[in-house]
Amino acid sequence: MSEHASAPTSGPGGAPPDDELMLVITREFQAPITRVWSALTDPDQAPAWWGPRGFHVPRESIDADLEIGGLYRACMVQDSTGEERWWSGVHTDVEPPGLLVFTHAWDKRDGTRGFETEVTLRLDEIDGGTRVTFTQGPFDTIDSRDAHGVGWRESFDRLAEHLRRS
Confidence (pTM): 0.88
Under-50 pLDDT residues of the chain: 2-12
Note the pLDDT of residue 7.
Answer: 43
Note the pLDDT of residue 14.
Answer: 57
Note the pLDDT of residue 82.
Answer: 97
Note the pLDDT of residue 8.
Answer: 43
* Mean pLDDT score across all residues of the chain: 92
Domains, the chain: 23-165 (3.30.530.20)
Note the pLDDT of residue 166.
Answer: 84
Beta carbons of 44 and 59 less than 8 angstroms apart: yes
Q: Other C-beta atoms within 10 Å of 35: how many?
A: 17
Residue 33 phi/psi, 5-degree rounding, is -55, -35
Note the pLDDT of residue 15.
Answer: 54
Written as one letter, the residue type at 153 is R
Contacts of 4 (CB under 8 A, 6+ apart): 25, 26
* Cα-Cα end-to-end distance for the chain: 16
